[in-house]
A and B are shown apart, each in its own frame.
Chain A
């Protein structure tokens, strides 16, 4: 399958740790990239490659992969981390594909 599946929503207490997962066959071949999107804004890249953050992204964001599952972990979640998160990779046709998205709520 070329789909990337994410849990629709997760919540986390302020300062605690939350993990967002992304499942798909292509993730055994390609690393996932992760994007954060806040309401009314364009997505921004927060993680890519094995576990690389673009400049300006806090180090509380980290990534990992196991088999066909990629994970984005926010360690010590802050109020400003409340957003939608999308994973992204390639599919079997070498086209781009996005995950279904996860809404993170910080309590």
Chain B
């Protein structure tokens, strides 16, 4: 059974730092691209960061670029998100999600087929 379990969320003051972790099990972690997605209270989903299976390709949303760093340790089946320079608007549930890629004859899609239960980051003074 595929499982993704996030941890590390807590209350932190503006300007503070935090490291989130996502422990993966039930699949060959080093074969999959991974993502972080967040959801502010009462709001929609916002993609945060992507990391390829070998960490060669990494992308960030403009809202976190330069402040957040995504990484992974395939030997430990773990995904990480380092959050620095935290702002009040970073308050959200942070989900890790596994990415698949499917291509038909005319197009492709990259569904996030498994999600963790999320970890809450609260930024306030």
- Distance (whole angstroms) from the CB of B46 to the closest CB of chain A: 7
From the candidates A43, A90, A93, name the one contacting B110 in the complex (CB within 8 A): A90
What does DSSP make chain A's interface, helix, strand, loop or mixed?
A: strand
Task: Check B44 against A52 for contact (C-beta < 8 Å).
Answer: no
Smallest beta-carbon distance B43→chain A, Å: 8
| CB contact under 8 A between A42 and B118, given known A86-B45, A95-B50, A98-B46 | yes
Q: A42-B95, A42-B117, A90-B110 are in contact. Are A96 and B35 (CB under 8 A)?
A: yes
The reply to whether B46 and A50 form a contact with Cβ atoms under 8 Å apart is no
A95 to B50, CA, bound (A): 8
Instruction: Determine the main DSSP class of B at the interface with A.
Output: strand
The size class of the interface chain A forms with chain B is 20 to 34
Contact (Cβ within 8 A) A48 B50: no
Residue A94 is within 8 A (CB to CB) of chain B in the complex: yes
A49 within 8 A of B: yes
Known: A95-B61, A96-B50, A100-B44. A44 touches B115 (CB 8 A): yes
Question: Measured between C-beta atoms, what is the minimum distance from A62 to chain B in Å?
Answer: 15
Q: Mark A26-42, 1 if CB is under 8 A from B, else 0.
A: 00011111010100001
Closest 4 CB pairs of A and B: A48-B111, A31-B109, A96-B47, A33-B111
User: Can you name 8 extra interface pairs (CB under 8 A) apart from A84-B44, A90-B110?
Assistant: A29-B107, A30-B108, A43-B95, A44-B115, A50-B104, A93-B59, A98-B37, A100-B44
